[in-house]
Amino acid sequence: MHISEGILSAPVLLTGVILTAGGVSLGLKKMDYERIPEVAVLTSAFFVASLIHVPIGPSSAHLVLNGLMGLLLGWIAFPAILVGLALQALLFQFGGLTSLCVNAFNMAFPAVVSFYLFRLFNRKYNRYTLIFSGFLCGVIGILGSAFLVALSLVTTGEAFLTAAKLIVIAHLPVMIIEGGITAAAVVSLNKVRPELLTRKVKI
Amino acid sequence: MHLEEFAEGKSLIHSLDPRIKLLSLFPFIVVVAIAKGLTVPFIALMVGVNLVLFSRLNLKAVLTRLFPVNLFILFLWFMLPFSVKGEGIFTIGPLTATSEGIFYALTITLKANAIVLSTIALIGTIPIFRLVHALRHLKVPEKLVNLFFFCYRYISVLHEDYSALYNAMKVRAFKPATNVHTYRSYAYLIGMLVVRSYDHSEKIYQAMLCRGFRGRFPLLDHFTGLTRKDFVFFIFMIFVAACLVTLEVGKYFWRLP
């Protein structure tokens, strides 16, 4: 879901920089110094998890997990995702430096949305609300990102319309699987370390 | 996982000051990223190739790095020639490929590879600790830089955790396939990774507090003053970027592609 270098137009890149700068500064404000190690190590965990390829029929897809990241981190997902993507761009050349901010916004904004959704559904929580809202967060993470990627491409040029449509369609099966995986991961977190899900996160 | 593949080496580019490398890279990649047509992207690609050659990197490793970039672009090559309006060249079924579309796809290919090559040559050749240090000198927010450094540092630790967990699954005859069992197992694996990351971070934070950490890394290896070759390189890269801007603006006069 990374957009490579050299594709997007100047206005799209600039919009990405402004939006991401806003999100990141808000996220950094909410992240106290004591939380830096926690957020950083969690980000490395998601960096490693995004290297996992899950089979889908004859092909495979790698996990994104921005929904799960969002529901654990809230607005701090912005700096965390920016850092993760910067490392991916520098270490593996996935995505790119000039498109970094656009990619970060495309993934971090749905993450923040899933944070609020998850809180909304789990004021009083039980197993079923956890499964349902976990699934929803996984779906929103992927679907939202796919739509934002498509939007970035189409606002760059009408010529990308077919490519953008294909990207959204290709992510529909991925979205279901991420939803399922996010739901199961939330349930397992609730069993092993429930305080991670229920503690008060500064909004 | 070997992450700083290009950071070691002895070359002109390796010996430059990291701050200078960052400052001279950014104007260049911004100009290339927003350029149109073929002239500027082509020259930029030549600059990128030369930067890689000057930093005497393992060319095979560099080519491997170009692969993921060009995979996404290959996907665009199947779309763009047919979706840009213009003069038709050939038709496949109901689709007509236009020369404008092919030029557009070529522009993107040149631009992406130019940016990636120059990024590898100029940022890939900085060891991460010095990169982080340089970012602080360039006024990137401290929390963000610390986050970046810690995250980088713990990727290999978490990767070891992941390998251990995954090996434990394999020992129990786990075979990934398209079924609920596979997805649930991966989900539990991810859940355990998250839990372990919290455990690690608590220990790390306590260990750092014990050693008097106050949000700053004391350094012995400070940047020394800039040398003449740093200035020469900086001026050269700014000159290149300025030339590219001139070409980009002037190409309508000179009728360049």
Name the residue facing A40 among B82, B109, B150 (closest C-beta).
B150
Residues B78-93: what's their mean pLDDT? 82
Q: CA of A107: how far to CAs of A18, A102, B168, B207, in Å? A: 15, 9, 31, 33
Q: Do B69 and A4 touch (CB under 8 A)?
A: yes
DSSP string, A4-64: -TT-S-HHHHHHHHHHHHHHHHHHHHHS-GGGHHHHHHHHHHHHHHTTPEEEETTEEEE--
**Helix A77-92 and helix A66-73: axis angle, to 10°?**
140
Distance CA A107, CA A66 (A): 6
Which residue would you say has higher pLDDT here, B8 or B190?
A: B190
Which token pair is B206? 């306590």
pLDDT tens column, A139-187: 999 999 999 999 999 999 888 898 899 999 999 999 999 999 999 999 9
- How far is B254 from chain A, CA to nearest CA, in Å? 23
Candidates A9, A44, A190, A193: best to mutate against B (most CBs of B within 10 A) is: A44
Which residue would you say has higher pLDDT here, A20 or B214?
A: A20
pLDDT tens column, B139-163: 999 999 999 999 998 999 999 999 9
Q: Give the model's confidence band at A199: pLDDT under 50 very low, under 70 low, under 90 confident, else very high.
A: low
Instruction: Give the residue from A96, A141, A130, A45 showing the smallest Cα distance to B156.
Output: A45
Q: Is the pLDDT of residue B4 over 50?
A: yes
Residues B178-188: what's their mean pLDDT? 92
A173 touches chain B (CB under 8 A): no
Q: Do B110 and A6 touch (CB under 8 A)?
A: yes
Chain A residues inside the 8 Å CB shell of B149? 40
Distance CA B128, CA B132 (A): 6
Query: Which residue of chain B has the CA closest to A60?
Result: B178
What residue segments make up the domains of chain B, in order of their start? 18-133+224-254, 141-210
DSSP-assigned letter for residue B88: E
| For chain B, percent of residues with pLDDT exceeding 70 | 99
Residues B105-113: what's their mean pLDDT? 93
A131 touches chain B (CB under 8 A): no
ipTM over 0.95: no
A18 touches chain B (CB under 8 A): no
Distance CA B134, CA B153 (A): 17
CATH topology of domain A10-198: Arp2/3 complex 21 kDa subunit ARPC3 (1.10.1760)
Query: Which residue of chain A has the CA closest to B84?
Result: A159
- Reported residue count of chain A is 203
